[in-house]
Amino acid sequence: MTNVVVVGAQWGDEGKGKIVDWLSEQADIVVRYQGGHNAGHTLVIDGVTYKLSLLPSGIVRGGKLSVIGNGVVVDPFHLIDEIDRLRTQGVTITPHELKLADNATLILPLHRELDAFREGSNSGTKIGTTKRGIGPAYEDKVGRRAIRVRDLAEPDALGPKVERLLAHHNALRRGMGLNEVDAGALIQLLKDVAPKVLPYMDRVWDTLDHARRDGKRILFEGAQGALLDVDHGTYPYVTSSNTVAGQAATGSGLGPGAIGFVLGIVKAYTTRVGEGPFPSELFDEIGRQIGERGKEFGTVTGRARRCGWFDAVLVRQTIKTSGIDGIALTKLDILDGFSEIKVCVGYRLDGHVIDYLPASESAQKRLEPVYESIPGWVDSTAGARSWADLPAEAIKYVRRIEELIGAPVSLLSTSPERDDTILVKNPFEA
């Protein structure tokens, strides 16, 4: 048995929810290790749709332990709301099913306000954030002034910590023309939410270490995608955390030796939400058709996603930066019926062809895609559960993608339904 990390290998929205749900049935523990409630997962189980943005996907499966690791920034108010909403759908959530790292950073209302003000201002770079306070919370974490989950258990010590936090934020707010945050009101807010959050608090690193030593199967669930990684993504149009697979170790408290298999989730085409470069983006009727067929709207924001052809250059790069062992290819059925399908196999930059994404922001904006054309297929792939159910041209497309990205397909998803999956290699048994 091995432990598995699931990571998005594009800009997010690759269909991780279904794959994580499929794998979570075999896992004992499901761990979220980065991000916050800015990245949504949609699960369809027995005809019931569950929308998650902070809780691990395993929470909807009985008998699993769900863990929110220290690498996640946690809005305590959203956490309680999401728990309450899932309970109305019949999901059991108690401290027995859910553990929250005591050293996780909290997202506070002042973080949301700062995020929204920056994104809505007329100056600076618009990143296209969800305005949920993720970035400002991570800023406070690395600035060593954050309020953490453990602090809720020590109300008498909150005063100096809040003052330290507000020394920074109130100076910012004065400069932006915003009202200062009242320390007393913020402390009271934290004291009020504490009894609802603290029952879930845990030494996650220790719990996971014991589970690993006991031979439990651990599934690490990434949010967003590797191309939004703060180091390896399309900077500055990225999120505020590391989204590559290596963060599973740092963001959970387990060492990297606990990771056995890295599964990258990849759409059969490419999408992106928000601002930033997108070399293979389509602005024509084909792009519109892909968006409509794929229902490409954000789970959290409802924003329409930008759509384009599959970009093998980007995926090949994320396979290297995340150490991906195999991929789960999703939404192949969305390409049904196209007579011709294109794949981006390189970029033209200032007259030269390159095979990587340059780190330079200005260079990324000047990239022109170099395409390879592949014959499409007429027959439907929707709901296929074996290679024999696929048109020959669809199989050729999958095999060509494997060649271009340098990684094998471990799973092939042909619809949102969990059982519409072709299994090549089970990551837990690799």
Q: Please give the positions annotated as active site.
A: 13, 41
- Tokens 């600076």 belong to residue: 124
**Strand 29-32 vs strand 65-68: parallel, antiparallel, or unpaired?**
parallel
CB atoms within 10 A of CB 84: 11
- Tokens 């030593």 belong to residue: 213
CB atoms within 10 A of CB 399: 12
Which structure tokens are listed for 7? 């990571």
CB atoms within 10 A of CB 242: 24
Helices (H) and strands (E) counted in the chain, each on its own, are 12, 20
- 287-293 contacts, C-beta under 8 A, 24 or more apart: 290/334, 290/335, 293/334
DSSP states of 293-361: HTT-B-TTT-PBPEEE-EEHHHHHHHHHHHT--EEEEE-GGGGTT-SEEEEEEEEEETTEEESS--S-H
- Tokens 């191309």 belong to residue: 227
Closest listed residue to residue 406, CA positions, set 341, 331, 332, 318: 318
What are the residues facing 341 on neighbouring strands? 374
Measured in whole angstroms, how far is the alpha carbon of residue 43 from the centre of its chain? 14
- Altogether, the residues listed in the chain come to a count of 430
